[in-house]
């Protein structure tokens, strides 16, 4: 998903067909994410499933509220830079999470 955000930032003004393909891919991955995360959380925290899912949904919807406010702040920058920055941030988060999971399963 981070690569799709970066591609969107680079190509959103170039071609309508490319934009449609990138948005389709992003929509597919975005549609799979919440149910997948809920399943992972339910399996990981079976004893405190309700608390874990409640915290997950709280953070998820808090992010949606804060994201709208940050959009207004980022409006002063060209859209290309915003998407490249956010995609890079997501990619960095993905790499750090992968390293964390890899280390956790080694011990």
Q: At what angle do helices 79-106 and 2-11 cross, to 10 degrees?
A: 160
- pLDDT (tens, 9 = 90+) of the chain, 107 residues, equals 666 677 777 766 677 787 787 778 888 888 888 888 899 899 988 889 999 999 999 999 999 899 888 888 888 888 778 888 888 888 898 888 877 776 665 55
The reported pTM is 0.58
Q: What residue segments make up the domains of the chain, in order of their start?
A: 2-106
DSSP state for residue 1 in the 8-state scheme: -
**Residue 24 token pair:** 């389709």
- The DSSP secondary structure of 29-50, one letter per residue, reads HHHHHHHHHHHHHHHH-STTHH
């Amino acid at each position: 998903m981070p690569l799709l955000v970066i591609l969107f930032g680079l190509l959103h003004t170039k071609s309508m067909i490319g934009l449609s393909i990138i948005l389709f891919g992003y929509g597919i991955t975005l549609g799979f994410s919440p149910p997948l995360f809920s399943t992972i959380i339910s399996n990981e925290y079976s004893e405190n499933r309700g608390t874990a899912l409640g915290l997950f949904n709280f953070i998820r919807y808090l992010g949606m509220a804060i994201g709208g406010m940050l959009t207004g702040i980022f409006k002063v920058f060209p859209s290309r830079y915003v998407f490249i920055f956010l995609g890079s941030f997501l990619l960095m988060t993905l790499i750090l999470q992968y390293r964390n999971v890899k280390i956790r399963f080694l011990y």
